[in-house]
A and B are shown apart, each in its own frame.
Chain A
């Protein structure tokens, strides 16, 4: 008998193969040899500067995935990662630009500022649910718009760099930038932060009492409440943690990558949404999340190389990504159906719920 997890792994592999085959068909239709194109993709993603770019892209994708995985695992749907990331990013950037002092301290302060701003924005969404009874799913999403507007205003007016035509801040002074590690020809030291988040979350989930309680709330919040868990307080904590990590990632994207906060830049990246997909695919578990994030990063970077070298539009990479998602999502629905049946049998006795059949 196959265990659930080996079944999972097999079907993940199968859906990736299926997606690559569909991608190959599309490439062939556009008149290019798919093997050639894929070769370029792999080479572009995993060799030379490609490896650096893939790793660099992994930081925000996995980072946002981790940020969102914390509330999701507790059954709290934070769709406002983007707003939290953008506001955190601006707060961190402004600190890095304007705060006087020794660079190491300024850098630390800017990361903390990013975390605080992101956490604050996430807290507003939690407060909306607890005091205004507005579901976090909605309040967090709605709060993304004012976050954009506020940052947009700030970088266009009070903090605009008058010497450039685009609306952006002045660049972060060289000394205050997050340094590059001597890895793959220069990956941001934020990678260390990412590793720290990953390990901390894995330990929290597996080993701590609060990690246990959040998982139970995610499985059945009435059960948690019944067991004496302060579910409202828990909502606040998971949102604070989520927003803080999102804010740090936003800070990294400027202070460790682009060095200028350019209006709309962080939003256009779509990292928050890719992160959302990644955590959903990984069922909010940190290690699978890292794997999924690395795969999507490689796909995107490889896609760009493919476009450059064999002139296949890089959207093909997005097609492959989309197919993986659709196939995997289909697998979730399927396996949930298969599991739903034996699960419903024990529910036959004493269950009072009315379940809608779909």
Chain B
């Protein structure tokens, strides 16, 4: 079988980091090739070199047996590559079809032939199981659909090799299954897929081969059929990872959060949280399970003070905060790991220290009068970097250069360092590697054992079941069930999450 592409001896250094160290990679035509590795192992860097976005320091790229040099993504596209980032590059106000055919428009005279464009998009979509309405406007579509549009865009340009960087991180389980159907169809039609993931279950489910990166080096190339998740995770981390242990029970204290009869509307005035009441006590983790878009995010925003409550009461640390902003809720004893680390949780242009001191900057320890105590601030940053194993050269580095998972660890580390009585954790392990998941889970359990209360949201049901003391299910803005994780399973959660009732 021939190779669709080969990378030979690729190296790339950034100041203080060797992101790729003499990496060889052979991808066979028609394979689904998974790339795994710890956060900061160099996966994204390797793919952006392959796609012409970053120039390697040394090494060569061979496509279809010919050595190529890519000066930009356009060169890579011309050579038959396509890449799907998760920061989708689409025109929000144009339609699906217009986005897909952009730069290769079918024309009648000088005008875009809309009917023809829509027809082609529909045909491609049904061939690969990527169902989208060609006339829909991008800004009206949910994330899972946008990803399909991106894949269509690549296929429309006749990409023979499709590269996907953590495509499943933001998908619902249903969307993920659909994506895998598409990937298998691509394979059946002789196309090649390279995808990055941290979820070893996905590697086992869809890939033919898997390459493990560690510290910038390719440490193993394996046939999926003859390996196991345990072996892969040992190769990634150098140790055994255990994610299945259940936390011991801990002592419950008083309520750190009481929500009563809370109603919240979204920006369009629709009721998204409908008369919800819940309580989180010190020493427990309350899990919230819900299919995306059932009001759980609005609930969290209202609790934190980032969205006004329509009606009802929210008490944090004994203080009514339904009308408060985040300065007040933080003061009352709340810390928050937000779902979107880029738009909410960090300032990409700021240094690592500047990102780590946010929320702490007014504490006595970090200032002398109106002045910032920079030495203390740096010390604080160094400690979080060390404690949470954030792979970065130092506190002065710009946050934008951190790998996805390392940025996530930075946010989690910062918020947990507040040691606030209430921790609101929304997708705390999104984008981090298995070793880091294990570590963060231990930290979260430790946090509640020390007397903290945690409100946990996660799209990963196994994570909710593994960590929570209780789980509530939200459906269409209401709490429809409360379950004991020891006595339920993912199937039952799924049943309630989709509107089932006993």
Contact A347 B342 (CB under 8 A): yes
Contact A348 B87 (CB under 8 A): yes
> Which residues of chain A (20-72) have a CB below 8 Å from chain B?
none
Measured CB to CB, the closest approach of chain A to B357, in angstroms, equals 8
Q: Interface centre among B91, B361, B401, B403, by most A CB within 10 Å?
A: B361
CA of A1 to CA of B14, assembled, Å: 9
Contact B361 A345 (CB under 8 A): no
A 203-214 to B, binary, CB cutoff 8 A, 1 in contact else 0:
000011111110
Can you identify 10 A-B contacts, CB atoms within 8 angstroms?
A: A208-B372, A209-B372, A211-B372, A341-B54, A342-B401, A343-B400, A345-B85, A349-B169, A349-B431, A357-B89
Contact B53 A345 (CB under 8 A): yes
CA of A341 to CA of B85, assembled, Å: 11
Closest to A233 in B: B327
Measured CB to CB, the closest approach of chain B to A344, in angstroms, equals 6
CA of A210 to CA of B367, assembled, Å: 11
Q: B367, B401, B405: which contacts A349 (Cβ < 8 A)?
A: B405
The chain B residues found within 8 Å of chain A, CB to CB, are 15, 44-45, 48, 53-54, 85-93, 138-139, 143, 146, 165-166, 169-170, 304, 306, 325-327, 330-331, 336, 338, 340-350, 354, 357-359, 361-362, 366-367, 370-372, 374, 400-405, 407-408, 427, 430-431
Interface check A108, CB cutoff 8 A: no
> Which residues of chain A (303-358) have a CB below 8 Å from chain B?
341-357
Closest to A229 in B: B327
Contact A230 B404 (CB under 8 A): no
Contact B372 A228 (CB under 8 A): no
Interface check A177, CB cutoff 8 A: no
Contact A215 B431 (CB under 8 A): no
CA of A142 to CA of B97, assembled, Å: 40
Contacts of A166 in B (CB 8 A): none
Contacts of B45 in A (CB 8 A): 345
CA of A226 to CA of B347, assembled, Å: 11
Interface check A223, CB cutoff 8 A: yes
CA of A219 to CA of B430, assembled, Å: 23
Interface check A180, CB cutoff 8 A: no
Contacts of A223 in B (CB 8 A): 344-347, 358
Q: B139, B331, B408: which contacts A228 (Cβ < 8 A)?
A: B331
Contacts of B346 in A (CB 8 A): 220, 223
Q: B165, B401, B408: which contacts A348 (Cβ < 8 A)?
A: B165
CA of A357 to CA of B405, assembled, Å: 25
Measured CB to CB, the closest approach of chain B to A158, in angstroms, equals 42
Interface check A101, CB cutoff 8 A: no
Interface residue SS majority, chain A: helix
Contact A342 B430 (CB under 8 A): no
Q: Interface centre among B54, B327, B359, by most A CB within 10 Å?
A: B327
Interface check A116, CB cutoff 8 A: no
Contact A354 B44 (CB under 8 A): no
> Which residues of chain A (180-218) have a CB below 8 Å from chain B?
207-213, 215-216
A357/B90 contact (C-beta < 8 A), A346-B407, A350-B408 known:
yes
A226/B344 contact (C-beta < 8 A), A348-B85, A349-B404 known:
yes
Closest to A344 in B: B87
Contacts of A212 in B (CB 8 A): 354, 357, 361, 372
Contacts of B325 in A (CB 8 A): 225, 228, 230
Interface check A227, CB cutoff 8 A: yes
Contact A349 B358 (CB under 8 A): no
Closest to A358 in B: B91
Given known contacts A342-B48, A350-B340, A355-B89, what 16 new A-B pairs fall within 8 Å (CB)? A207-B372, A212-B372, A219-B348, A223-B344, A341-B48, A342-B401, A345-B44, A345-B45, A345-B165, A348-B85, A349-B169, A350-B166, A350-B342, A351-B343, A355-B87, A357-B89
CA of A345 to CA of B402, assembled, Å: 10
Closest to A220 in B: B347
CA of A64 to CA of B455, assembled, Å: 49
Contact B359 A227 (CB under 8 A): yes
CA of A213 to CA of B54, assembled, Å: 33
Contact B343 A209 (CB under 8 A): no
A350/B92 contact (C-beta < 8 A), A209-B367, A222-B343, A345-B44 known:
no
Contact A350 B138 (CB under 8 A): no
Measured CB to CB, the closest approach of chain A to B86, in angstroms, equals 5
Measured CB to CB, the closest approach of chain B to A72, in angstroms, equals 14
Contacts of A341 in B (CB 8 A): 48, 53-54
Contacts of A354 in B (CB 8 A): 88, 90, 92, 138-139, 146
The 10 A-B pairs of least Cβ separation, nearest first, read: A349-B404, A227-B358, A219-B347, A228-B327, A220-B347, A348-B165, A347-B87, A349-B431, A351-B87, A228-B330
Contact A209 B306 (CB under 8 A): no
CA of A185 to CA of B338, assembled, Å: 61
Contacts of A207 in B (CB 8 A): 371-372, 374
A1/B15 contact (C-beta < 8 A), A209-B371, A227-B326 known:
yes
Q: Interface centre among B327, B342, B401, by most A CB within 10 Å?
A: B342
Contacts of A351 in B (CB 8 A): 86-87, 340, 342-343
Contact A346 B401 (CB under 8 A): yes
CA of A313 to CA of B407, assembled, Å: 56
Contact A352 B330 (CB under 8 A): no
CA of A215 to CA of B331, assembled, Å: 22
Contact B359 A350 (CB under 8 A): no
Contacts of B331 in A (CB 8 A): 228
CA of A211 to CA of B90, assembled, Å: 36
Measured CB to CB, the closest approach of chain B to A123, in angstroms, equals 21
Contact B401 A225 (CB under 8 A): no
Contacts of B344 in A (CB 8 A): 222-223, 226
CA of A351 to CA of B431, assembled, Å: 10
A209/B347 contact (C-beta < 8 A), A348-B165, A352-B340 known:
no
Measured CB to CB, the closest approach of chain B to A126, in angstroms, equals 18
Contacts of A356 in B (CB 8 A): 90-93
Contact A226 B336 (CB under 8 A): yes
CA of A219 to CA of B336, assembled, Å: 20
Measured CB to CB, the closest approach of chain B to A352, in angstroms, equals 6
Contacts of A216 in B (CB 8 A): 347, 350, 354, 358
Contacts of A208 in B (CB 8 A): 370-372
Contacts of A357 in B (CB 8 A): 89-91
Closest to A208 in B: B370
CA of A223 to CA of B306, assembled, Å: 11
A347/B85 contact (C-beta < 8 A), A223-B344, A352-B170 known:
yes
Contacts of B15 in A (CB 8 A): 1
Q: B92, B370, B403: which contacts A346 (Cβ < 8 A)?
A: B403
Measured CB to CB, the closest approach of chain A to B264, in angstroms, equals 17
CA of A227 to CA of B326, assembled, Å: 7
Contact A347 B53 (CB under 8 A): no
A345/B372 contact (C-beta < 8 A), A223-B358, A227-B359, A350-B340 known:
no
Contact B404 A346 (CB under 8 A): yes
Closest to B377 in A: A212
Measured CB to CB, the closest approach of chain B to A245, in angstroms, equals 19
Closest to A357 in B: B89
CA of A357 to CA of B103, assembled, Å: 12
